[in-house]
Structures are given as C-alpha cells and as structure tokens.
Amino acid sequence: MKKMEPSILIFLVIFVFSGYLGGSGQLAEDMDHSIKNIETFTRLYGYVRYFYPGDEAAQTDWEKFAVYGVKKVEKVRNRSELKQALQELFLPIAPALVIHDSNRKTRFSSTRITPPPAIKKKMNVVVWQHLGVGFGEARSIYRSIRLNRKDELTYKRNIGVMIQVLDAAPFQGKQVKLRAAVKVAEGAGHMWLRVDRMNKAMGFFDNMNDRPVKSNEWNYYEITGPVAEDAQRVVFGCFLQGSGQLWVDDYQFFVKEDKKWKSVTLKNPDFEEDKDGGPPQEWIALSEGYSYQVTADTAARGRKSTIIKSDPGSGLVFDRKPQFGEHISKELGSRLSCLMPIALYGTEDYTYPKASPAALNRLKAAIEEEVPKEEKLSGDVLYVRLGDIVMAWNIFQHFYPYFDVTKTDWNASLTEALASAYNDKNKQDFLKTLRKLVAHLKDGHGRVYLKGDTTAFHAPPIQWDWIEGKLVITGIFHKFLKGIHMGDVVVEIDGVKAKDAIKNEALYISAATEGWLHYRTLNELLAGPKDSQMTLKIERDGEFHEITLQRSEEYMKYYNKSKNNVYYKKIDEDIYYLNLNNIPVDDINQLMPELEKAKAIICDLRGYPNSNHQLISHLLKEKDEDLWMWVPQIIYPDYENVTYKGHGWHMKPLKPHLTAKIVFITNGRAISYAESFMGYIEHYKLATIVGQPTAGTNGNVNPFTLPGGYRVMWTGMRVLKHDGSQHHGVGIIPHVRVERTIKGVKEGRDEFLEKAIEIAKK
C-alpha cells in the first residue's frame, strides 16, 4: 500500500473534522425543530384527550396515538406542514376542533356544532368532569367521566362499592376475619376482603361471588382468610351488584393471635356519629351511578346504617359542568392555535358533529400498522420515549394541584425532557429522564418505577445522614464489617466528592422540602444492583481511609434493619415512650390505664404511623369538623377555574382523655399519613413538637402507567393545614428544632429523644 503524503493527510483530517462539526450543528438544529413540533402536538394532545367530549376521542387508544403522533409530526419542515399533520391526526377524532394560524383571528361558532332542532330534542349535552383525574381504578378517590355517557373503560357502572384500607403489617402471617350486617332490596349484595402483596403479587381475595346476599332481612356475614408475610394492605368493604339497594352496618374486623380472635379497631364501623342523609365518613364510596347515604330508617345495631342505592340517572361527579357553547382558545406553539368546544350534544349512539368514517378508519389503520402491541412497546424505542413524555407532561399540566406553590416552569420541563429522551440510549436512561421530569414537580410522593427493574433493590449494610454539612455514617448493620465506624465522614463515593454525588442524585428526586430531599437522595445513593460494590473514602480523626462495600442487603430487609424496632418503653417511673412507627393501636389501648397515670408521654413519629391515629382522639378536647384534604373538580384545561371537594377525618374525643404532658418527635421522613397525624397535633396544640420539619407532602397518590412498563406516582389532591394555610413545601414545623451532631452519633446518642425527655421532665 502506498504511503500517503503528510500534507494530504492533514488536509483530509481538517476536511472531515470541519464537515463533522457542520453536521453536528445541523443535527442539533434539526432536533430543536423536531422538539418544537412535538411540543405543539403535546399541547393539543392534552386538550383533546381530556376535554374534547366527543365519542370518537373517548374511544381512541391514546397511548398508541401518542407514539404514532410524535412520529408523524417530528420531521415536518414548516408551520403549514405541521398544521396539516395535526389536522390529519386530530380531526378524525375531534371533528369540531379548529386548528388555525395564531396571527389569524378566528371566532368560535356554536352554530356549526348545533344539531338540527328535530334531532337536538332527543339529545343531551356531553361534557367531561374530572374529580382529580381518573385512570380506571375502581378503588381510587379520583374519577373522570363524560356526563350522559356510559364509559366502561373509565369506570364500572354496575358496582356500587364501599372501601376501607388497613396497613397489613400487624396482620402479616396471620388469619383475619371480616364481619358485617347486610340486607338488600333487589340486586345482589357482597362483602369483600382482599390482601395486596408486594409487587402486585396475588394475595387472598373473596368477594362472596359464589354466595351473594339476597335477603331483605338483617343478617351477619363473614369472610376469613390468610394475610401473606409480604402483604402491604388489607382492603375490604361491601358492594351492590347491579340495580337495587343495599344496607350495611356494624363492620367488625378480627386477627387471630394465640388461637383467639382479637378485635381490631376500624374507622367509623357503625356510622353512628355520621349525619343523616350524608355520606359515610372514613369510607371511599364513589362508584358512578350509585348514591351512598347514612340513614336512621333501619339498623342492625345502634341507630344508623349506610344505604347504597343504584341511581342510573346520576352522572354528576360534582355540580359544576360546562354549558353548551363553552369552548377553549389556546396557543399551541409553532405559531398555531386551536378553538375547541368542551360541550357537545349527543344521542345514546353518537356525539354531534360526527367524524368522517373514512378518515377515522384510515387513522386507526395507520396507528395499528405503525405502533406495535402494548407488550412490545419499550423505552428502548425513541418514539415510545417521546410519546411517554407527551402523556406524562399533560397529566401534570392539567391535573397537578401545586404548580402555584412550586413555581415550576413546566413548559421548560417539557423541552428538557424531550431533548433528554432523544439522547437516551435505552429504557434505563429513559427511567432517569422520567425521574427528572417528575422531580420538577417538587412532590414528595413523586416517583417513577420500571417494571422488572432490579438495579436499585439492594444496599450495603450501612446507613448515613447529612450532619453538620457532612455525610456521616450513622448505622452499621453487620458486626463483622471492618474499616468503618459510627461517625466516620464520607468524603468521596466511587471517586466523586460526596457533596457532588448528593447534588447529582438530587436532580432525580422529587421533594417539597429539604428534609425529604436529603432522606430520599441519601437512600438512592446507597441503592444499586445485587452484590454490586461501592468504594468510599472516609475521614476519621484527621486520617483518610478507603473501604469497598458490597450491596448485599435486599432493600426491604435493609429498611427494616434501619428502623428503631422498639414499640414502647418506660423511660422514667412516670414517662412513657411510644414509637408510633411500630406500635399498633390495640397495644396503645392496652397501655391506656398506665398512660392515664403518666406525667409525660413521648410520641415518636420520625417515619410513618402504624394505623394508630386513634391516639389523637384521646388527646382532643373538642370534636373535629375540619376539611383539609381538597380533591380538584376540573372542567377546564390548564388547571383553570378549579373548585374543590373537601374531606377530613372528623375525629371526636374519646375516653380516657390523656392529661399527661405530650411531646411529639418528628423529622423530614414524616410524610403523607404521618403529616395528617401531625396536622392535628399542630393545629389543636396537643403537644410540644420536637425535631425537624416534616416532608411537606400529603394527600392520596394517583399512580398511572406509561408504555414501556413505567409506573409514575404523584399527589392528586391539594392538602392544606387545618387553618387553611399552605402545607405543601412547608410541612409541620417543630416548636423546638433539633440538629444531630457527629459527636452524638459517635457516642450512640439519640439527640432528638434526649431533647424530648428534657422537655418532658420540665
């Protein structure tokens, strides 16, 4: 082979390199243009999917549509082509939609969508109502319906169900029994009991399908079954199948211990304190087509019961609804806008105006041809990633209740997420992209999981915390672990400065407060694949050491080892300590005679309560009527003009009333249910609160799934403090703040508990 002259070689290198740079610039410009196209599609997607009331839109497979749509608009070159692509995508499913140039004034005309008078007489107005937003989960407090429409994909009309949920921890590995009095008039009645296990594994389930209640006389019925060792929740209640009426009263729940059935305290089991004609408190009872009322007309025991009655004409989830003629006018981006009615007329068979059958069939055929079946959709595929961003962004855009608090630039988050999805190489990369998108919500419930992913299921046998501006070892779970001590300062993690590693990981953590952000971030830094290694550079007494640790602990076992396993203890002759993260309410009730005599009671809520908030009733002096959980009632897009449905626990004082000095310990790990608990302590001034602010995130989560196996958690309701002030991002503020010290860690001291004891003794 002939040797190339040096001058020619240099020329070729310069030529190729300059061409490469020019190509990169063009690629970046092309991607920029594609992202703008997809952003425009994204906004229109959300308006049509969640607010256009027509039948064709409601029957669309919106997941496949998103994947197909981004591919369709990605490469169009200009505004005219983009407008045409959007019309081809959306007009077959939303024929009353108008897409127009933003600089061209366009007026909405209700005449165009008004059917002829003879037909109109036989029609009802069809509109969307969103209580939060529903994803077809019957147990959820959140629902989405179209009025005057039967939509089996969104909800089941033929079951009127009551639901209550218990934490399964006290019952794991034991038998439980549900008992209640039921009678029916028409239809069929069922009690039901289900055990939810980890990772959606099947647990015990019985809904009396083989023995429905049909008697119109009061009788007691029972369901007995096992609770698995890995059970997470026990869900139970009753339901009316089909049309008719069902009465239920006197719920009882038991767990078998030492061969004896032991009674478990339930929330509002007999409805005696509920208002006549009102809904049963503490129960989820929201099935479309059914009403739920407490009545004094009949009871199996006491004075009241609850009646479930089929009411097929009742489609309203709440009173507000759009009126015919109401429409939206929205900027979409790319100098395009839309006009869209949010109320249409419809018969039982169709909404007016009807779409072109030919255009609709062409669209469906194209989607089926280009988008694979759901089980073949993967985050390894670019268009699945882009489609997932379209879907997730819109759910939060229209239904997330805290953007006014978090001040997030959600439009910028869309651009960032789409760009990241383009750069991702596989489904694992995209998991991080979704996590970062959800992190922008600043929602402590916000998380993203990937089905089958085990890359973050194990941890090394240590615990650490951020103390005095340093990352400090606070727990060692294996006695044989050498080279590391309590109080050691971690300087580097796998060659990265600890502070930088924490900062980088925090980008992917959704949190409303610093306390929850630190807790989640530090846990995520420990997590990784089974038996993978992490190398730490640690400082002890001015000297530096290096240690390599193996992620040998399954994460749930790691979590259990990191917990304080004490249920309660007597600190002094007249001071009791209750660990509310562990102790069940039945144990608290057994302690009541001693707690009545105590001088002080210290309640530790640095974590999550064990279904024991009934303790609050023994501290209250007055009945609680507060509404502090607010579910959004949404009929307009972009979270505009939202009203709310209020909920509360409506607790009442119980005897004995505890007169001891009460001290509560809490910190940034206390989230959701723990903050509901602490909200009472704070508002009614029931205790001195010691520690650090809680996580500042409360309310029922509303999970949804995305193609590729991604499951997203987030908060679907707005929770305030009892006085109506902001809770999100604030949390419960302690009266006495406590900071851990490195010295305290080295000495094995619990400085939070020490401060609580000091206050208790005063």
Q: Which residue has the higher pLDDT, 16 or 739?
A: 739
Task: Check whether residue 554 and residue 574 sit in a common domain.
Answer: no
Confidence of residue 27 (pLDDT cuts 50, 70, 90): low
- The answer to whether position 153 is within a domain reads no
Taking the alpha carbons of 491, 493, 495, 498 in that order, is the dihedral positive or negative? negative
Q: Which two tokens stand for residue 543?
A: 């000297």
**Confidence (pLDDT) at 311:** 67
Q: What is the DSSP string of 452-505?
A: T--TTSEE-SEEEEEETTEEEEEEE--TT--S--TTPEEEEETTEEHHHHHHHH
Q: Which residue has the higher pLDDT, 562 or 80?
A: 80
- The answer to whether position 451 is within a domain reads no
- Report helix, strand or coil for 286: coil
Task: Check whether residue 633 and residue 704 sit in a common domain.
Answer: yes
Contact 252, 269 (CB under 8 A): yes
Instruction: Give the contacts of 603 (CB within 8 A, at least 6 positions apart).
Output: 578, 580, 615, 662, 663, 664, 665, 687
Peptide bond connecting 353 to the previous residue in cis, omega within 30 degrees of 0: yes
Task: Check whether residue 509 and residue 628 sit in a common domain.
Answer: no
Mean pLDDT over each residue of the chain, to the nearest integer: 92
Confidence of residue 198 (pLDDT cuts 50, 70, 90): confident
Contact 101, 83 (CB under 8 A): yes
Greatest mean pLDDT among 31-35, 104-108, 465-469 lies in 465-469
Distance of alpha carbon 626 from the chain centroid:
23
507 closest CA partner among 517, 516, 497, 494: 517
Strand partners, 331: 337
- The answer to whether position 325 is within a domain reads no
Confidence of residue 580 (pLDDT cuts 50, 70, 90): very high
- Report helix, strand or coil for 245: strand
User: What CATH number corresponds to the domain at position 677?
Assistant: 3.90.226.10
**Confidence (pLDDT) at 478:** 85
Confidence of residue 89 (pLDDT cuts 50, 70, 90): very high
**Confidence (pLDDT) at 10:** 37
Task: Check whether residue 614 and residue 680 sit in a common domain.
Answer: yes
In total, how many domains does the chain have?
Answer: 3
Task: Check whether residue 291 and residue 180 sit in a common domain.
Answer: yes
Confidence of residue 456 (pLDDT cuts 50, 70, 90): confident
447-450 β-sheet, strand order: 447-450, 710-713, 704-706
Task: Check whether residue 475 and residue 609 sit in a common domain.
Answer: no
Distance of alpha carbon 6 from the chain centroid:
64
* pLDDT per position as a tens digit, 632-678: 999 999 999 999 999 999 999 999 999 999 999 999 999 999 999 99
Burial class from Cβ neighbours inside 10 Å (0-12, 13-18, 19+) for residue 720 reads: buried
Greatest mean pLDDT among 12-16, 552-556, 579-583 lies in 579-583
User: What CATH number corresponds to the domain at position 465?
Assistant: 2.30.42.10
- Buried/exposed code over 641-667 (b: 16+ C-beta within 10 A; e: otherwise): ebebbebbbbbeebeeebebbbbbbbb
Confidence of residue 420 (pLDDT cuts 50, 70, 90): very high
**Confidence (pLDDT) at 6:** 42
- The answer to whether position 380 is within a domain reads no
Determine the Cα–Cα distance for residues 307 and 280; give it in Å rounded to an integer: 9
pLDDT at 730 exceeding the cut of 80: yes
Determine the Cα–Cα distance for residues 344 and 324; give it in Å rounded to an integer: 6
**Confidence (pLDDT) at 562:** 73
- The answer to whether position 546 is within a domain reads yes
Strand partners, 242: none
**Confidence (pLDDT) at 315:** 61
Q: Domain of residue 163: give its range.
A: 158-310
pLDDT, average across residues 256-263: 94
Strand partners, 528: 458
In the block, tokens 């003629």 appear at 325
pLDDT, average across residues 567-581: 95
Instruction: Give the contacts of 672 (CB within 8 A, at least 6 positions apart).
Output: 444, 445, 608, 695, 697, 698, 699
- The answer to whether position 12 is within a domain reads no
Determine the Cα–Cα distance for residues 74 and 323; give it in Å rounded to an integer: 36
Domain edge (last residue) among 310, 337, 354: 310
Domain edge (last residue) among 511, 528, 561: 561
Task: Check whether residue 693 and residue 548 sit in a common domain.
Answer: no
- The answer to whether position 276 is within a domain reads yes
Burial class from Cβ neighbours inside 10 Å (0-12, 13-18, 19+) for residue 172 reads: middle
Task: Check whether residue 278 and residue 171 sit in a common domain.
Answer: yes
Strand partners, 185: 245
Q: What is the DSSP string of 144-190?
A: EEETT---TTT--TTEEEEEEEEESGGGTTSEEEEEEEEEEESSEEE
Task: Check whether residue 621 and residue 754 sit in a common domain.
Answer: yes
- The answer to whether position 195 is within a domain reads yes
Determine the Cα–Cα distance for residues 494 and 520; give it in Å rounded to an integer: 19
Peptide bond connecting 656 to the previous residue in cis, omega within 30 degrees of 0: yes
Domain edge (last residue) among 288, 310, 332: 310
Task: Check whether residue 585 and residue 550 sit in a common domain.
Answer: no
Three-state helix/strand/coil letters over 197-237: EHHHCCCCEECCCCCCECCCCCEEEEEEEECCCCEEEEEEE
Q: Which two tokens stand for residue 395?
A: 């759910």
CA distances from 118 to 111, 346, 355, 364, 541 (A): 15, 13, 20, 32, 90
Contact 249, 301 (CB under 8 A): yes
Determine the Cα–Cα distance for residues 115 and 125; give it in Å rounded to an integer: 11
* pLDDT per position as a tens digit, 52-64: 999 999 999 999 9
Distance of alpha carbon 232 from the chain centroid:
16
Confidence of residue 140 (pLDDT cuts 50, 70, 90): confident
pLDDT at 521 exceeding the cut of 80: yes
* pLDDT per position as a tens digit, 213-236: 999 999 999 999 999 998 989 999
The residue type found at 83 is K
**Confidence (pLDDT) at 25:** 58
* pLDDT per position as a tens digit, 702-712: 999 999 999 99
711 closest CA partner among 166, 135, 47, 51: 135
Instruction: Give the contacts of 611 (CB within 8 A, at least 6 positions apart).
Output: 166, 167, 170, 584, 585
Percent of the chain that is helix, strand, coil (3-state, to 5): 30, 30, 40
Instruction: Give the contacts of 177 (CB within 8 A, at least 6 positions apart).
Output: 222, 223, 224, 253, 254, 255, 256, 261
User: What CATH number corresponds to the domain at position 288?
Assistant: 2.60.120
Confidence of residue 7 (pLDDT cuts 50, 70, 90): very low
- Percentage of the chain modeled with pLDDT above 70: 94
Phi-psi region of 130 (alpha: psi -120 to 50; beta: other; left: phi over 0): beta
Task: Check whether residue 545 and residue 575 sit in a common domain.
Answer: no
In the block, tokens 């296990």 appear at 197
Task: Check whether residue 529 and residue 614 sit in a common domain.
Answer: no
Taking the alpha carbons of 178, 179, 185, 188 in that order, is the dihedral positive or negative? positive
247 membership: H or E segment, kind and range: strand 245-257
